[in-house]
Amino acid sequence: MLLRRTKFLISVMMLLIMVTFVSFDQVEAEYLNEFGTRVLRPGHEGLDVAVLQQKLSQMNYYSGSIDGIYGNGTVQAVKNFQAENGIKNDGIFGNSSFEAIPKLNISAQYSISRDDVLLLARVIHGEARGENFKGKIAVGSVILNRIKSPHFPDTIRGVILQKGQFSSLMDGQANYYPGESELAAARASLLGYDPTKGSIYFYNPEVATNTAWISRRNFVTRIGEHVFLR
């Protein structure tokens, strides 16, 4: 027990001490480059949809949540944008719409420090190694969803360092430097894209050992190797 606690404390210290100098402008450009690579239609989901929603919100066409889901609210906002710009208002965001929309800056839904972005990216790296980009965003989303829950700390740092919550702090995986993909996933989750639909728990059924708590939670979705719950 003492050895396990010591290992956890060492991992936490390493996580907080190790700071890298990463070009966040480069990371932001990486996920912004996804915007415009496909025609966006009702039912689509993804980071590019979240970017579109924020752009439409900045122009006062969209008032819903930045969730990365091309639902009815987004469709109507696109139609209104298209109508006012002389584009066929069919709710499908294609080439003409991409050409008409201005290059606005996007911003995160949370005002946090650079170090907290890096901390979030480290845990994404530790918990979602081997997962695709959506799977990495999903882990980041769970951490951010916990901030909004009354049952968890209300800061990124508080959620991540809460004892016994993330295995990557126990085994040291979170101490490794995150790559650009993990940093971009952290930024995407901060932007508001949440493929977990509000989940506050996740686990890998292939490796989980303590599963007694799972029956008390509601299944939401599965992304890659992780199951997400509320």
Residue 72 and residue 223: Cα distance in Å, rounded? 24
Per-residue confidence (pLDDT) for residue 62, from 0 to 100: 97
Residue 207 and residue 191: Cα distance in Å, rounded? 30
Q: How confident is the model over 213-229, as pLDDT tens digits?
A: 888 899 999 999 999 99
Per-residue confidence (pLDDT) for residue 111, from 0 to 100: 64
**3-state SS class at 206:** coil
Residue 145 and residue 162: Cα distance in Å, rounded? 14
Beta bridge partners of 228: 202, 221
Q: How confident is the model over 59-118, as pLDDT tens digits?
A: 999 999 888 889 999 999 999 999 999 999 999 999 999 999 998 777 666 667 888 888
Q: What is the mean pLDDT of residues 147-173?
A: 86
Per-residue confidence (pLDDT) for residue 29, from 0 to 100: 46
* In CATH, 2-21+110-229 is 1.10.3720.10: no
Per-residue confidence (pLDDT) for residue 227, from 0 to 100: 96
Rounded alpha-carbon distances, angstroms, from residue 158 to 65, 68, 108, 125, 150: 25, 26, 19, 18, 13
Is pLDDT at 21 greater than 70 in this prediction? Answer: no
Q: How confident is the model over 189-204, as pLDDT tens digits?
A: 988 889 999 999 999 9
Residues with Cβ within 8 Å of residue 203, at least 6 apart in sequence: 211, 214, 226, 227, 229
| Torsion 33-37-59-198 (CA) sign | negative
- Pick 118 or 212 by higher pLDDT: 118
For tokens 């932007």, the residue is: 191
CA angle 80, 82, 87 (to 5 degrees): 150
* In CATH, 30-100 is 3.40.50.300: no
Domain range annotation of the chain: 2-21+110-229, 30-100
Average pLDDT, the chain: 84
Q: How many CB atoms lie within 10 A of CB 139?
A: 28
- % residues pLDDT > 90 (the chain): 49
Q: What is the mean pLDDT of residues 176-184?
A: 83
Is pLDDT at 161 greater than 70 in this prediction? Answer: yes
State the burial class of residue 47 (Cβ atoms within 10 Å of its Cβ: 0-12, 13-18, 19+): buried
Lowest-pLDDT range of 34-43, 77-86, 169-178, 184-193: 169-178
